[in-house]
Every structure is written in C-alpha cells, then in structure tokens.
C-alpha cells in the first residue's frame, strides 16, 4: 500500500504540465505555486530520491536532481533529519544544546574578563555615547569641561555618580567635581542638595563654620556637575594610618569642638539642616598637616520638617530614634558625633552592628535599656524588644542566630575609654593630657551625646560649654579670666540667653524635624581659608542674627566657630620652631595633635 501511495505521487508529478527551466538549470520548478501547496517540495523530493524509479524520463530525472541539489546536505542524511533528532536521538540533541550554550557562555565570560577598564569605558551606549550603561559619564583624563576644568583623575564613585579631580584653569587651582548620574531621580536629589548648599553659602560668607562650600554648578552633556574645593584625608584615613589605635584626646577635642560648632551653625533657624550621614568618611582634613576639618557630603541631608527618608544614617552611627522608627530631628547628628568621637580616640567603632538588630543589641550592652516611653511610641519596637506579659517593661528579643550579648549596661563606656587604666588599652598611660580627670570629662560629654531620648540629648550650644572644652580654652588663651566653656560661644551675651529662656524656649536649641538632601561643597581661594587660624580677624557683624537671638535663644546666637588664639597657641612645636607671632614653646603634650604625626611620624606645626 505504501508503494502505491508513493507511485501515485510520482505519477501526479509526471503528468503535470512542465514549466520552462531558466537558462543555466537550477530547477525553477515544473508546477505553479498553487499546485506546489498540495505536495510539499521536501516530501516530494525525498520520496523521489528514495524510490529512484527506473521508468522516469531523462528530463524529469534532471529536473529532480537539480532541485535535490538545493536541499541542505544535512536533510539528505536520515540520521540528521529533524524527526530523528527529536525522537530517537532526543537525549543526544539536548546534550548538544547544553554543550553549545555553556561553551558560548564561557567564551562570553572570558571575553568580558579579558577587556581592560579603559576599553569598557570607550563603549558608547547611552546619551550619544557619553554615558556608560549605569548612566555615569564616561570620564576621560585630559578632557575639558566648559573649556575650563581639565579632568585629572577619578577620585571615587557612588550611587549618585562619581567625583573627579580637575584643574580649574581660571582660578588656577585643583577642584573636586561631583558628576551626577544622567537619571531623573538623581538629578532631582542633586538639585535639592544644591539648594541647601547655597543656603549654607549665604549664611556663612566668611567660610568659618567647617562646612564645605559649593563653588558653582553647571550642566555638562546632560549631567549636573557640582564643583567643590579639593580637601585632604578623611578621618577614617587618619585612623587607618594610626593602625586603628586612635588619635590623642587633645586632637579628639579639637575635632569635637569644630564639629559641635558646625552642628550649631546647621541648627540656626535660617538653616535647620540635618546632615543625616555624619561619619568619619564624611569629615575631611583641610590640610594633612593641620587639625582643621570640614563636613562634606550633604547628599542625604534635609531640612527640619521636610523628612523624606526613613532609612538614613550609616549603621554604626545610626541613632535609636531612626532604628525604632520614631520621627527624627537634628539630634540624630549629635548621636552620630558621640559615636565618632569615641571611635577617633579608641580607633574602633563604638557600636559595630552587623545589622540593625545586632546594632540595637550593642547599643543596649553599653547604655542599658531604652526608656519605656520611647518604646511605647516607636513603630519598630517589636523588631528588637518584647513586652513581658502582665508587666509594664520590655526585654530584648533573643537573637535568632544564637548570638550572645552582655547584660544591658554592663559593657561600660568607662572601661571602653580606659578612664582609670590609662586610656584605651592602657596606651595613653602617663601621657600629658590623658589624666583620669580628662577622661571623666570626655566620658560625661559622650554620655550626654548618647542619650536615648532625643529631647534629653545635649545640643550643640550646651556641648560647646561642657567642661571637656574648658581645659583647651583656658590653656590656649593662657589667661586667668578665660571662663568660657567654648570659644564658639565666647562672645554670647548671657543676658540675651536668659531673656530667651523667659520666652519659654529650649536654650539647648532643640529643633523640629527635617528632610531633603544636600551635597558636598567648597569654595575657597586657597587652602589657608580652610584653616581656623586664618580667621583671626573674623567676627560676627554686630547686628547679625540679632532677631534670631531674641526670638530663639542661644542656639541661634552669634558665635566665633573656633578660637583664633586656641589654634595658634596650643599646637605642638619643635624646640626651634616659630610662628607668625614669634618664638614658640617647645613641644608639649599634644604633639600628636598633628594628623600627620599619625600618618608620617614626623613632628609638624599644627594650627
């Protein structure tokens, strides 16, 4: 029966009218297109090839051979036919597919790994070839922005974009340019940062409050660019260069006073700015041989009452109210500062949690349990604590990973600082400026900065009046009547402060809430302006902030950010070194106050 069907197919083909073949052979076909639909070409030719009937005419045989020549060779081999591959040889087919797939994947991985960085940067993907696939600008050394800023090198990258070092041919100095990603969300956030930086610029025209300044900003090939002054090491770099053994208490004091002054500046009613990401990496030395610093990276910052984000602050420096989901305000920066100051002196983070639960447990180890009223109002209390049934108190939840913690409050700050044992690890025993009295003052200030309740936490204004700063102020001025706790508030009229309290205001300067972001900035003709000693003649204008003083109390009063005479009279000196004011005393107890002493182990004059 099968033979008759095949013969029937052959006879149908033989009896159909032939169409002329084009010159050169090639088998143009002998059926119309409509006729071909009834008998598929492939089936017809295979049948003809298989039967090989002897009674076929020469012309018909030639025609069929020509068309058979057009069939791929693999189709002629029955072992390679698709039907066989998908039935009898199905497993073999799948194995072959796997081999091809993984071989191709391996080649691709090797190719990508073999490409160097410069080659990948040259790939043109987005923004007419100026951006890479992450929407970052493709930086090329030697390129000029606006025919002014010549790109020198890449400083670093982040989620916002990247920062490059460039030379400003107009001002003849190096600058740092922050190039924002070419994406709408990043552009919008950077515009908020620019707004806040410009607010700070207007409020600090004399550059004396330890906040980096925005020189200018511009658009370049669809990227917002922010131009800053080029600063030096950050405080984490400084710690790393001490092998994480920490800097002296005297240098820690200098950093603390500048940072408290900066926070006091940010808390003025004209600004009300929360940094939201204060940490050693965001505090930079102005000069590697001086102790003057600046706060940078306002990319997460916001204004009071305009909070946008709940997940803020780096974990080690994250305040309890942020961990617990309580509305936050300017006090979160004071918490971060307390953590930073301990780390700068000990060399290690005070609370180094691996996650938020671990972070809260490490805080409780040192400070004990948070007050009940905070836990009652917090949204995330159940994440860390559980309420005992039938009782009105909370306990920590047991760790799911089985990690053991000390009893709340038993890892004392007293022991961490080494108050009675010569400093952290006993490394400061016998050093001038590291007495038990000095450590007790330092510990007291830190504990006030680390109050659980943000309303009870010390404010920048009162922090600057703390006894921890009296020693430096008194010794640096070398005067018997130097009773001001802090040079930053030396010029405050306390009668005005008292009048402020009569209005029922919090003299600590507590403010409300904040949110919106900022960014790094800088605008100085020279690095000398970054140094507090360069501000010897700087004072507030008599009428500056007068209305704020009357209406808001000491938090908004005029103040000198850093004691001109303190920085000039307390630095360690060589036996033969001289300052601008003449001969200096020989090296004293705080030679290590020079950051570069830690880095280079070479004595330098600190201002």
Which residues make Cβ contacts (< 8 Å) with residue 477, sequence separation at least 6? 563, 565, 566, 569
Give per-residue burial for 327-356: e unless 16+ CB within 10 Å, then b.
ebbbbbbbbbbbbbbbbbbbbebbbebeeb
| CA neighbor of 275 nearest in space, from 347, 197, 366, 219 | 197
Which residue, 36, 42, 46, 2, is CA-closest to 16? 36
DSSP 371: P
What distances in angstroms separate CA 312 from CA 319, 328, 537, 580, one per listed residue? Answer: 9, 10, 38, 45
**Residue 277 catalytic?**
yes
Taking the CA of residue 125 as centre, how many other CA atoms within 13 Å lie in the half-sphere pointing to its CB? 14
The partner residues of 179 in beta bridges, in order of sequence, read 162, 225
Is 178 annotated in a binding site? The answer is yes
Within 27-161, where are the H helices?
Answer: 33-38, 41-51, 58-69, 73-76, 82-85, 90-114, 117-121
Q: Which helix (H) or strand (E) holds 579?
A: strand 578-579
Nearest to 260 by CA among 448, 102, 59, 75: 448
Positive or negative torsion for Cα 476, 482, 484, 485:
positive
| CA distance linking residue 244 with residue 238, whole number of Å | 9
The span from the CA of 379 to the CA of 391, in Å, is: 20
Separation CA 130–CA 182 (nearest Å): 10
SS3 55: coil
**Quick one: how far is CA 570 from the chain centroid?**
35
Strand-strand pairing, 273-274 and 223-229: unpaired
Distance CA(323)–CA(359), nearest Å, equals 9
Pair of tokens at residue 167? 């030379």
The residue annotated as part of the active site, out of 168, 277, 531, 593, is 277
Sequence ranges of the binding site: 178
Catalytic residue numbers?
Answer: 277
Sequence ranges of the binding site for ATP: 178
């Amino acid at each position: 029966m099968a033979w008759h069907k095949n013969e029937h197919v052959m006879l149908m083909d033989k009896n159909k009218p032939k169409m002329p073949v084009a010159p050169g052979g090639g088998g143009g076909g002998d059926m119309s297109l409509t006729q071909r639909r009834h008998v598929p070409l492939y089936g017809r030719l295979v049948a003809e090839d298989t039967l090989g009937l002897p009674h076929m005419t020469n012309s018909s045989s030639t025609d069929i051979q020509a068309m058979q020549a057009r069939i791929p060779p693999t189709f002629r081999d029955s072992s390679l036919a698709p039907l066989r591959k998908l039935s009898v040889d199905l497993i073999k087919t799948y194995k072959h597919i796997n081999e091809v797939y993984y071989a191709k994947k391996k080649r691709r991985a090797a190719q990508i790994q073999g490409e160097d960085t410069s080659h990948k940067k040259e790939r043109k993907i987005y923004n007419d070839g100026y951006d890479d696939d992450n929407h970052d600008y493709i930086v090329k050394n030697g390129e000029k922005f606006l025919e002014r800023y010549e790109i020198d090198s890449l400083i670093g990258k982040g989620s916002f974009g990247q920062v490059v070092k460039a030379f400003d041919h107009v001002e003849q100095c190096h600058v740092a340019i922050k190039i924002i990603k070419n994406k709408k969300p990043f552009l919008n956030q950077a515009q908020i940062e620019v707004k806040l930086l410009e607010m700070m610029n207007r409020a600090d025209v004399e550059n004396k409050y330890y906040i980096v300044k925005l020189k200018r900003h511009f658009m370049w090939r669809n990227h917002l660019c922010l131009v800053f002054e080029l600063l030096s090491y950050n405080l984490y770099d400084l710690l790393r260069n001490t092998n994480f053994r920490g800097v002296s208490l005297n240098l820690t004091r200098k950093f603390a006073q500048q940072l408290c002054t900066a926070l006091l500046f940010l808390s003025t009613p004209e600004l009300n700015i929360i940094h939201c990401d204060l940490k050693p990496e965001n505090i930079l030395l102005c000069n590697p041989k001086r102790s003057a610093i600046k706060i940078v990276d306002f990319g997460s910052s916001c204004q009071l009452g305009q909070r946008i984000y709940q997940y803020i602050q780096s974990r080690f420096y994250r305040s309890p109210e942020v961990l617990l989901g309580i509305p936050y305000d300017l006090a979160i920066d004071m918490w971060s500062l307390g953590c930073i100051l301990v780390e700068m002196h000990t060399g290690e983070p005070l609370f180094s949690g691996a996650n938020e639960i671990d972070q809260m447990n490490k805080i409780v180890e040192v400070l004990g349990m948070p007050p009940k009223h905070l836990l009652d109002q917090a949204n995330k209390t159940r994440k860390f604590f559980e309420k005992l049934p039938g009782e009105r108190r909370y306990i920590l939840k047991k760790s799911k990973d089985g990690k053991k913690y000390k009893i709340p409050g038993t890892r004392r700050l007293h022991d961490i600082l080494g108050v009675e044992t010569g400093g952290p690890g006993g490394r400061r025993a016998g050093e001038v400026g590291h007495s038990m009295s000095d450590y007790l003052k330092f510990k007291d200030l830190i504990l006030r900065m680390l109050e659980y309740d943000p309303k009870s936490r010390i404010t920048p204004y009162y922090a600057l009046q703390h006894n921890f700063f009296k020693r430096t102020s008194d010794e640096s001025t070398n005067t018997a009547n130097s009773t001001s706790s802090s040079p930053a508030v030396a010029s405050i009229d306390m009668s005005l402060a008292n009048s402020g309290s009569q209005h029922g205001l919090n003299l600590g300067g507590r403010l409300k809430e904040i949110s919106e972001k900022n960014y790094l900035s800088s605008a100085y003709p020279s690095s000398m302006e970054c140094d507090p000693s360069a501000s010897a003649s700087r004072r507030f204008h008599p009428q500056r902030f007068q209305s704020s003083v009357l209406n808001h109390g000491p938090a908004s009063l005029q103040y000198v950010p850093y004691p001109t005479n303190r920085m000039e009279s307390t630095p360690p000196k060589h036996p033969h070194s001289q300052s601008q004011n003449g001969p200096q005393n020989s090296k004293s107890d705080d030679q290590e106050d020079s950051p570069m002493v830690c880095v280079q182990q070479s004595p330098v004059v600190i201002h």
